[in-house]
Structure formats: C-alpha cells, structure tokens
Amino acid sequence: MLTIEKIRQYLGDEASDLLEFAQPKIAREKLQLPSAQFVDQVFSQSDRSDAVIKNLKRLYGHGRLGNTGYLSILPVDQGVEHAAGYSFYKNPDYFDPTNIVELALQGGCNGVASTFGVLGLVARRYAEKIPFIVKINHNELLTYPNVHDQIMFGTVEQAAEMGAVAVGATVYFGSPESRQEMVEVAAAFARAHELGLATILWAYVRNDVFQKGKTNHEQSADITGQANYLAATMQADIIKQKLPSSNGGFKSLNTSGSSYGKFDAAVDEDLIGTHPIDLTRYQVLNNYAGKISLINSGGASGEDDFAEAVRTAVINKRAGGAGIIAGRKAFQRPFSEGVQLLHTIQDVYLHKEVTIA
C-alpha cells in the first residue's frame, strides 16, 4: 500500500497543489460521488434492468477496489487499434490472450476490456473469474491510407454468449464519421441493455481541426465535456475519457470569423477553472453530475509511467471521477512491474488521505 509520502514523491513539485486544492468551481455537493452504494443509488431509479444492475454490481464489486465505487480496468485492444507488433514488442508475452487476462487478475482489476478474439478464446476459463468487457468496435491501421473510423467487429449477442458483463465501444466525436458511429453504437448499447449487459463508451474527440498551434483541443475540458454529455445521452453506463490538459476549445474554434458549436465566455468563467482538478471536474459534471462514472485513460507508456499514473489517479479521484482504465503503461513492461503499476493506481483510490476536493 502506498504511503502518502510516496504519493507526494511521485507527484513531485505538484504534490501540494494537487493534494491540497480546495476551491473547485463546482462544489462536490453538486455531484453524485463514488461510494459502495453507487450502483443502487443511481441505477435503481433508472430504466436499466435487474440484469444490467447485477452485471454493474459484479464489475464494481470485483478486485482490489471492489465495493468502493471506484474502478480499475485493464484495456488491451491496442493489437487492433495500434497494430499488434507495435503494441507488444516490448513484451511479446501479450500476443497470448491468457497473459492479458492474467495481468488483470493478478493486477487486482475490476475487469478486463479487450477484443472478441482475445476474450472469446479464453472465455470458458476466465469469464467467471473476472468481469469481461468486450470492445465491439475498432479502428484498424491496415487500411491504406490509414483512416480514423470505428467499425463493428462482432455482435452484442456474441459478447453475451461468452459471459461478458459489459460491452465497450468508441465514438470519435467531431470526426466526419462520428454521426454514423453514434447511430451504430447507440443501437448496440440499446441491444446490450436488452440482453442485460452494461455499456462503456470510449468518448474520444478526433479531428485535425482541433489542433490549434501547440494546443490540442481534443483534450480540452469543454470539448471533451460535451463528448461525455453525448456519451451519457447514448446511455453509456460508464464513460472513458482522456484526462483534460487544457480548455478553450470552443473559444478557439469561434475566432477569425469561424463558427463552431455554441460558445459563451461565461461557461469558462462560471464552470471551468484552470486547475487540473477543475478541468476534470467539468468532465464529471457533464457525466450527468457524476451519475455516470468517469474513468480517465492511462495514456501511452513512457519513462515516468508510475509518476504519470499516480498523477492521473489523484486528479481523477479528487475531481470526483471513478477510476482509471490503464493499458499500455501496464502491459508494455515486465509482468510483475505491470501488476505493481496497477496496484499503485488502485492504492491512490484506497488511500483515505487522498480526498475529493
């Protein structure tokens, strides 16, 4: 278990700022916060069936964070999304689906998210041991020239038959293909709920126009916040989103005579601060005020994975988020180190001195 001193060490110069921030734009009292009773408090009043609620409880109840309201999920779909050789060359053991699921199990995760192929091949052995989340659509990189378009790789019925508790899907909001993706994924999510499966949306923003100078507004709080709101509208039960690194996307895209969406400076002034916890809290606000859990992505693997993972977890937790979905930082290293990294993330959520701002 991480000590608060070790957490501060990982945070470095940002430690006091991130751990002691206490004046968010949106008060925590306005949000549905993670708790052991979260699923009942939110979904018992919803249109979700008893079967969906049972599967949500199984997901929230598994692993080291079981029954805390927080989630730690291992996602490994990069073999399709980023190419298998590129994704697994640092540790070729993960070409084998068994090792992917074993990492999630020994890493203490609530669940494992992967492809039809990976999870289907080991379903009889593992589907009862750890919650399965089947990613039903992907963007593949073999089409020439490369495109950014999420396409279905199977059916919701297949996911249900292999014993999954949930399906996951991506929409590239802002892309030319996004409207068709929204229609397809919304239909798939409706079918998943009919079959008793929970739903998780990777609510990514993707369009070259969002790059303005050195700022990539694909990770701006206002743009990603609206993507989250659309995801919740599509009845995602959990939303995966990149940690925001900036704000002002709508403002930037409404300059020099251009017009995009709806923009009022008062939104930034009244609802979105400049602090990293404020930026992420705006994402939580757009998740129906926290009633749809926000899990932030762990990001790419690099030289400071443990420190970056702790920083992301601290920001997410203190903002009112519900966890981290970290893949590459865990599987692009030796197995034991991957387990350690997942435990490190989970320790932030288990630590009572890391509080919600």
**Among 274, 220, 270, 272, CA closest to 248:** 220
Under 8 Å CB-to-CB from 337, ≥6 apart: which residues? none
Cα 75 to chain centroid, rounded:
9
Any catalytic annotation for residue 317?
Answer: no
Q: What angle do CA 111, 286, 148 make, to 5 degrees?
A: 65
Which residues are registered as beta bridge partners of 172? 204
Q: How far apart are CA 42 and CA 39, in angstroms?
A: 5
Instruction: Please report, for the chain, how many H helices and E strands are present, in that order.
Output: 18, 12
* Whether 318 contacts 354, CB under 8 Å: yes
* Whether 352 contacts 17, CB under 8 Å: no
Catalytic residue among 25, 135, 240, 242: 240
Q: How far apart are CA 88 and CA 92, in angstroms?
A: 5
Q: Which amino acid is at 255?
A: T
Which residues are registered as beta bridge partners of 137? 152
Q: How far apart are CA 44 and CA 50, in angstroms?
A: 8
Q: How far apart are CA 301 and CA 154, in angstroms?
A: 29
Q: Which two tokens stand for residue 255?
A: 């300059």
Could you list the active site residues?
A: 240
